[in-house]
Structure 1
C-alpha cells in the first residue's frame, strides 16, 4: 500500500501570519521552525513512502528545502489544507492508495497517531476520510475551556457514533459536561487531532464541492465531507504518556515548548 504524507503550509494565516516559520525550542534548547518539526514528525512514521511540503510561499519553500524536505508549489487560491493537499497530489501525478494530510501546526503528533489512522482507513471500506481523536483528560479539557473563556480557539473537538463515524466537529468544546474532573481523569470530550487520511478519489473530488454553511461558520475543512454525507472515520488514539497540542495562536508557543521540555523532545 503506497502512502503519501503531504504537509500543507501557508504564510498568510489569519490567526497567526508566518506561523510555519515560527521557531520552537526543544528540550535541549535547540530551535527549529514549526514546519521543520512537523516534517520531522512525518519522517518518524513507519510505512510511509514519501513526504512532501506543499506551499504557495517562497519563504516556506526555501526554509523547507534548507532542511532537506521535498517541496511542491501550489496555488494561492487553495482555501484550506485539504485543497492544497489535493493540488499537490495532482502535481505529483497520483499513484498513492492513501494520502495523509499532516497539517503543519501539529509538531507534537506522535508517529503512532498516523500509523493508526492509515490502518483504520484501510480497515473501513465505508470511510473516505479518517482522522484521529484523543480523549481529553481533565488537564486537557481545562486548557480547552480556558482558551474558549479567553476568546481563543485552543483546539477542535469531535463527537462520533458507535461505529466511530463522525457526527460533528467544532471549535467549541463539545459535548457539554458540567462534571468536574481531576487532572488525570478521563473525560467524555475528544480532542480532534489535525491529521487526515484520504482515499484519493474523495480527495480529488473535494475541491469541486462548494463549502457548506457549517464549514463556513466553523472554519473546519472536514465538515465539507460531513455536509456532503461522506463518512468520516474518527480513529481513537492513545497518548502513551505524550502530551499533544496544536499551534494555533502565539500564546501556544510557550505552551508547546514547555511540553517538549517535559517530554524531553528536541
Structure 2
C-alpha cells in the first residue's frame, strides 16, 4: 500500500487569518505552525510522500524554504478534504491519501500509522479517522470552551466495528454527570486527521454540501450525508497531550504542551 500525506494549509482562515504562519515556541526554538505540522508528518513511518497543499504564495514560499514539497491548489477548495482531492488528482497512483491538517502539530506519528492500518484492514471503509477517549479533564475543557463561546474540540459517536454515526462541535453523547480529571469517559475526541480511499476522495467535491455539514462546519459529515462508511479508529495517547490550534488562545496551550513533550 502506497501512502501520501497532504497537509492542507490556507492563509484566509475565518477564525484565525494567517494561522499556518503563526510562530510556536518549543524546546527546539520557534517554528511556525505549518513547519511543526510538516515535521509531525515526516515522523510517520511507512509514508511514501509528504506535501503541503496550499493556494497561498506566502505559505508556499515559507514551506519551500524549510524543505517541504509544495503542491499548489485552487482557491476554490472549500475545506481540507477538497484540497486533498486536488492533490490526489495531481499526484495519482497512491492507495491511501492522508489529510494531516495543518493546525495539528501535536499529532503523534502512531495516530496516523494506526489510522492507515485501520483503513487497510477494513475493506468496507471509504475513509478512516482517529478518535481519542477523553478524560474528565478534557471533557471539562470542551464544556468550558462552549460556555465561553469558543469552538473547542470535535466529538464523535460510533457504533459496531467503529462505524461513525455522527460528529459534532458539541460534547456528545450527553452523560449527565461529572468526571474526575483523570477518569475515562464515554466521550471521544475526534482527531482531525483522515485517511481516504482514492475513489471516495475523488467523489467528494462533486457532492453538495448538506444541512449537517452546513450547521456543524465539519467536512467529514459530507461523507455520512452521502451514505459512505466512515471508520473511527480508537488511538492511544501514550501519555502525550493533543490539541489543535483553532483560536488565538490555543497558541499558549500548544506551546505549554510542546514544552512538556
Equivalent in the alignment of 1:68? 67
* Displacement after TM superposition at 1:261 (Å): 1.1
Equivalent in the alignment of 1:151? 149
In the TM superposition, structure 1's runs of 4+ consecutive aligned residues that sit over 4 Å from their partners are: none
Residue of structure 1 aligned with 2:158, choices 143, 157, 160: 160
1:137-216 to 2 correspondences below 5 Å: 137-216=135-214
Distance, in Å, in 1 between the alignment partners of 2:27 and 2:249 is 18
User: What is the number of residues matched between the two proteins?
Assistant: 261
Please give the per-residue CA displacement for 1:133-156, whole angstroms capped at 9, x wherever unaligned.
000011111111111111011110
Distance, in Å, in 2 between the alignment partners of 1:188 and 1:107 is 26
Residue of structure 2 aligned with 1:253, choices 245, 251, 254: 251
Equivalent in the alignment of 2:20? 20
Equivalent in the alignment of 2:115? 117
3-state SS of 2:246 partner: coil
Please give the per-residue CA displacement for 1:187-211, whole angstroms capped at 9, x wherever unaligned.
1110000000000000000001111
3-state SS of 1:39 partner: helix
Distance, in Å, in 2 between the alignment partners of 1:194 and 1:140 is 16
Equivalent in the alignment of 1:2? 2
Distance, in Å, in 2 between the alignment partners of 1:107 and 1:64 is 14
* Displacement after TM superposition at 1:21 (Å): 0.4
Does residue 45 of structure 1 match 2:44?
yes
Distance, in Å, in 1 between the alignment partners of 2:50 and 2:260 is 28
Distance, in Å, in 2 between the alignment partners of 1:125 and 1:258 is 40
Please give the per-residue CA displacement for 1:95-116, whole angstroms capped at 9, x wherever unaligned.
1000000000000000000000
* Displacement after TM superposition at 1:18 (Å): 0.4
Please give the per-residue CA displacement for 1:232-261, whole angstroms capped at 9, x wherever unaligned.
000000000000000000000001111111
3-state SS of 1:48 partner: coil
Does residue 90 of structure 1 match 2:89?
yes
1:216-227 to 2 correspondences below 5 Å: 216-227=214-225
TM-score normalised by structure 2 residue count: 0.99
Gaps of 5+ in 2: none
For the aligned residue pairs, the C-alpha RMSD in angstroms reads: 0.7
Distance, in Å, in 2 between the alignment partners of 1:108 and 1:218 is 24
3-state SS of 1:229 partner: coil
Gaps of 5+ in 1: none
* Displacement after TM superposition at 1:162 (Å): 2.0
TM-score normalised by structure 1 residue count: 0.97
